Amino acid sequence: MSAHNMPIVAAGIAFYMVWALFPALVALVLLGITVLGEQEMLHLLSRIRVDLPSSVDAVVGAQLSAIARQSRAFSSSAFIGSVAVALWGAMRGARGLIEALNLIHRQRETRSFGHRQALAFGFACLGGGFLIIAISLIVAVPPFPSGSDGDIESIPLAPWQWPILIGALMSSLAIVYRYGPARRKAKWRWVSWGAAASAIVWVIGSFLFSYYASRYMRANLLLGSLGAATIFMLWSYLTVLTLLFGAQINVEMEREADVETTLDR
């Protein structure tokens, strides 16, 4: 990974990922307010607690609540603009991810411009779908109006939300690993190992990083009010690096399998 400059590539992808994340969340909040109403949406947002790391909650949760309270200041053009910016950032990040996968697989890009754009759009939609699933699980399942008082009830899925989230992450990564690089389609059994390793490393690493960020606040002392945002950016960078790590595992496993097959002959 170091030989392919993956740390630098991951930083660029993480930049676009963060650039796409906040406009996408703004669009989701505005859409939720349109469907559910402002009070119900604020109630749902109050349930979101992201502990991977906790600084994500400080950056994301507070911003979403502020947007929901000021939703009357946003118009339909703001919603369209948020979707457009989110899609632009997500597609830029997806194109960077495709280039990184080509580097890891040592493949030259031979697909047409339209093919690459369609693939980037598909990966952007895949990331948006995973984001919606993750938020739904964090909130604990879609809301249902209860009784005459109009309160929000939710079905608690705490024992199951992490297995479901990890499964969704593994499935999304397997699709990216299989269709991302410009090569003949790999067998699912090869890409699944890297997807599983990446998902497990991401969850364990995020918990450890959350523990470190909550116990050792030297970064906040040095950076002041930028501490939470900096930790969030670092966590996003490590997330992309973990994704590329899974792709590298797939490549190494395929290479070893090819060597063993050659020796058997």
Is 47 a member of any domain?
yes
The pLDDT assigned to 46 comes to 65
Could you give the 3-state DSSP secondary structure of residue 22? helix
Identify the pLDDT of residue 75.
64
Task: With respect to residue 179, please indicate whether it lies within any of the assigned structural domains.
Answer: yes
Contact 202, 242 (CB under 8 A): yes
Would 194 be classed as within a structural domain? yes
Domain with 241 in it: 6-264
Nearest to 9, CA basis, from 227, 224, 248: 248
| pTM of the predicted model as reported, rounded to 2 decimal places | 0.77
Q: How confident is the model at residue 164, as a pLDDT?
A: 80
Give the residues of the chain that fall short of pLDDT 70. 42-43, 45-75, 135-160, 213-228, 258-265
Q: Please provide the DSSP assignment of 102-155 as one string.
A: HHHHT----S-HHHHHHHHHHHHHHHHHHHHHHHHHHHTS--EEETTTTEEE--
R_g (Cα) of the chain, nearest Å: 20
The pLDDT assigned to 87 comes to 92
DSSP summary character for residue 224: G
Residue 1 resides in a domain: no
How far out from the chain centre does Cα 145 lie?
A: 29
Q: What is the pLDDT of residue 97?
A: 94
Number of domains present in the structure of the chain = 1
* Residue 45: predicted pLDDT: 66
Geometric angle at alpha carbon 223, from 221 and 232, rounded to 5°: 110
